[in-house]
C-alpha cells in the first residue's frame, strides 16, 4: 500500500489536526529530525523528511506504517506532559482508518483490537465491537471453574496462545475450537483430576485444600452437634477405642488432653459457643469426631462434593 493523494474530507482533516497537535506537544521538531529518529528506532517504516512533511501537512494519506512510525516518535518526544507511544498509536489507528477505509465506526480489525483498550465507542452506545466483546467472553455463557482462577505463572506467551488457536481453528474448525475453550473454562481441562491444569501447579494448593477440608469438617461438626447432644462424649470414647488410629495422631491427641484448661473448653463446647473457642479446641474436637477427611472429587468442586468424611461415630440414618 502506497501513500495516496485524496481530496480533503472531514476525516482527513481530523487526522491532520491530531497530527499537528501531537507535533506541537513534542516541541515541533524539524522534519529531518523526525525522520532521523524514525531511522534510529525500531519502527515499521523508514520515512524520509519529505514523507514526514507531506503527512503532517495533510498533502497525502500515507500508509498506516508511516503514520504509526511518526506518531510513535512524536509521542516519545513529549515531555510535559509525557505521552505513551503505544496509547498514541492506538488513538491514531481509527483516525487513519476512517480516512483510508471510510469506516470510523466500523468493526476494528485484529490489528486495532491488539492495540486498543476497552470495548465499544466512548459514548457507551452498542456497536459491532460491543456485541463481539459480550459474545466472545465465556463469563457470559458459563460458570468459570474456580481452579482456573488461582494465581499462576503462564506457561506460554499470549502470542503463542493466539498462534496455537489459529492453527487449531485451521485444522479442526472454529466450532470445535470454541467448544473446546468453553469446556476448558468450565473445568473440563487436561489435568482436572489432579486439581490443576496440565503443566501447572499452584504452589499453595495443598495448604489451601487442607484449610478448606478443615473448615468444611467444622461446619459439618456443628450441624451434627445441634441435633446429637451426646455426640462429643461418644466420639471421645470412640477415639480412645480406635486401634487403627495413627500412632502420631494418638500421641498428639493424648498430649492435648493433659491440658486441663483446653479440655474444659472442649467438653463444654456447643454450637452456640463454637466461635468463642480457641483454635486448639477446634482442632481437638475435630480430631475426636472425624476419623479422616479426604478429597474424592476434583479441585474446585463444592466441599460437600470434593471431600468425604469418615466419622468416628457414624451419622444416624435419615428418616
User: Among 5-9, 97-101, 183-187, 206-210, which stretch is predicted with the lowest mean pLDDT?
Assistant: 5-9
- Alpha-carbon distance of 139 to 182, in angstroms, equals 10
The predicted model gives 261-286 an average pLDDT of: 93
Domain shared by 189 and 209, yes or no: no
Residue that wins the pLDDT comparison between 147 and 308:
308
The predicted model gives 48-75 an average pLDDT of: 92
What per-residue confidence (pLDDT) applies to 4?
Answer: 52
- Asked, for residue 187, whether it belongs to a domain, the answer is yes
What per-residue confidence (pLDDT) applies to 129?
Answer: 62
| 11-15, Cβ contacts within 8 angstroms, sequence gap of 24 or more | 11/95, 11/98, 11/99, 11/102, 11/104, 12/58, 12/61, 12/99, 13/58, 14/95, 14/98, 15/58, 15/67, 15/92, 15/95, 15/96, 15/98, 15/99
- Asked, for residue 182, whether it belongs to a domain, the answer is yes
- Asked, for residue 317, whether it belongs to a domain, the answer is no
User: Among 110-114, 260-264, 300-304, which stretch is predicted with the lowest mean pLDDT?
Assistant: 110-114
User: Among 158-162, 190-194, 271-275, which stretch is predicted with the lowest mean pLDDT?
Assistant: 190-194
pLDDT at 273 over 60: yes
Distance of CA 201 to the CA centre of its chain: 16
**Three-state DSSP string of the chain:** CCCECCCCCHHHHHHHHHHHHHHHHCCCCCHHHHHHHHHHCCCCCCCCHHHHHHHHHCCCECCHHHHHHHHHHHHHHCECCECCHHHHHHHHHHHHHHHHHCCCCCCCCHHHHHHCCCCCCCCCCCCHHHHHHHHHCHHHCCCCCHHHCCCCCCCCCHHHHHHHHHHHHHHHCHHHHHHHHHHHHCCCCCCHHHCCCCCCCCCCHHHHHHHHHHHHHHHHHHHHHHHCCCHHHHHHHHHHHCCCCCHHHHHHHHHHHCCHHHHHHHHCCCCCCHHHCCHHHHHHHHHHHEEEEEECCCCCCCHHHHEEEEECCCCCCCC
The predicted model gives 225-253 an average pLDDT of: 93
The predicted model gives 37-58 an average pLDDT of: 93
What per-residue confidence (pLDDT) applies to 157?
Answer: 75
What per-residue confidence (pLDDT) applies to 1?
Answer: 47
Domain shared by 212 and 300, yes or no: yes
In this structure, how many other beta carbons lie within 10 angstroms of the beta carbon of residue 280? 14
Q: How many domains does the chain have?
A: 3
Domain shared by 211 and 305, yes or no: yes
User: Among 33-37, 122-126, 232-236, which stretch is predicted with the lowest mean pLDDT?
Assistant: 122-126
- The predicted-structure confidence for 184-220, as pLDDT tens digits, reads as follows 777 766 666 555 555 555 555 677 778 889 999 999 9
Domain shared by 242 and 303, yes or no: yes
The predicted model gives 46-52 an average pLDDT of: 93
Residue that wins the pLDDT comparison between 240 and 166:
240
- Asked, for residue 318, whether it belongs to a domain, the answer is no
Domain shared by 176 and 236, yes or no: no
pLDDT at 170 over 60: yes
Residue that wins the pLDDT comparison between 151 and 105:
151
- Asked, for residue 78, whether it belongs to a domain, the answer is yes
Domain shared by 190 and 210, yes or no: no
- Asked, for residue 115, whether it belongs to a domain, the answer is no
Mean pLDDT, all residues of the chain: 82
Domain shared by 177 and 255, yes or no: no
The CA-based angle 253-256-261, given to 5 degrees, is 145
Domain shared by 256 and 299, yes or no: yes
Domain shared by 212 and 250, yes or no: yes
Domain shared by 255 and 306, yes or no: yes
pLDDT at 314 over 70: yes
Q: Calculate what percentage of the chain has a pLDDT beyond 90.
A: 45
Place 266 in a pLDDT band, splitting at 50, 70 and 90.
very high
- Alpha-carbon distance of 206 to 292, in angstroms, equals 16
Backbone angles phi, psi at 142, to 5 degrees: -140, 165
pLDDT at 155 over 90: no
pLDDT at 51 over 50: yes
What per-residue confidence (pLDDT) applies to 172?
Answer: 73
- Asked, for residue 96, whether it belongs to a domain, the answer is yes
pLDDT at 270 over 70: yes
By the 10 Å C-beta count (0-12 exposed, 13-18 middle, 19+ buried), 285 is classed as buried
- Domain span including residue 179: 139-194
Domain shared by 42 and 96, yes or no: yes
- pTM of the model as a whole: 0.43
Domain shared by 262 and 168, yes or no: no
- Asked, for residue 292, whether it belongs to a domain, the answer is yes
pLDDT at 258 over 60: yes
Amino acid at each position: 500500500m502506497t501513500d495516496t493523494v485524496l481530496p480533503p474530507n472531514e476525516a482527513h482533516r481530523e487526522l491532520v489536526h491530531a497530527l499537528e497537535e501531537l507535533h506541537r506537544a513534542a516541541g515541533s521538531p524539524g522534519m529531518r529530525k523526525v525522520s532521523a529518529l524514525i531511522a534510529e528506532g525500531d519502527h515499521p517504516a523508514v520515512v524520509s523528511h519529505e514523507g514526514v512533511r507531506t503527512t503532517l501537512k495533510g498533502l497525502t494519506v500515507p500508509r498506516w506504517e508511516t503514520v504509526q512510525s511518526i506518531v510513535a516518535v512524536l509521542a516519545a518526544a513529549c515531555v510535559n506532559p509525557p505521552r505513551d507511544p503505544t496509547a498514541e498509536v492506538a488513538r491514531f489507528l481509527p483516525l487513519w482508518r476512517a480516512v483510508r477505509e471510510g469506516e470510523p465506526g466500523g468493526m476494528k480489525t485484529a490489528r486495532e483490537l491488539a492495540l486498543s483498550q476497552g470495548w465499544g465507542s466512548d459514548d457507551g452506545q452498542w456497536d459491532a465491537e460491543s456485541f463481539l466483546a459480550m459474545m466472545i467472553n465465556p463469563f457470559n455463557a458459563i460458570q468459570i471453574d474456580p481452579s482456573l482462577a488461582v494465581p499462576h505463572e503462564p506457561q506460554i506467551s499470549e502470542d503463542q496462545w493466539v498462534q496455537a488457536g489459529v492453527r487449531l481453528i485451521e485444522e479442526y474448525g472454529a466450532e470445535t475450537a470454541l467448544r473446546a475453550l468453553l469446556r476448558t473454562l468450565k473445568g473440563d481441562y487436561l489435568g482436572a483430576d489432579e486439581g490443576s491444569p496440565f503443566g501447572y501447579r499452584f504452589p499453595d494448593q495443598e495448604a489451601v485444600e487442607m484449610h478448606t477440608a478443615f473448615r468444611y469438617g467444622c461446619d459439618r461438626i456443628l450441624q451434627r452437634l445441634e441435633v446429637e447432644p451426646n455426640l462429643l462424649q461418644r466420639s471421645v470414647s470412640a477415639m480412645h477405642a480406635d486401634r487403627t488410629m495413627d500412632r502420631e495422631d494418638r500421641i498428639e491427641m493424648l498430649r492435648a488432653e493433659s491440658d486441663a484448661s483446653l479440655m474444659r473448653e472442649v467438653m463444654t463446647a456447643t454450637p452456640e459457643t463454637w466461635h468463642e473457642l480457641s483454635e486448639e479446641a477446634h482442632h481437638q474436637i475435630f480430631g475426636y469426631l472425624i476419623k479422616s477427611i479426604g478429597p474424592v472429587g476434583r479441585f474446585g468442586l463444592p466441599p460437600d462434593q470434593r471431600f468425604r468424611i469418615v466419622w468416628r461415630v457414624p451419622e444416624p440414618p435419615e428418616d
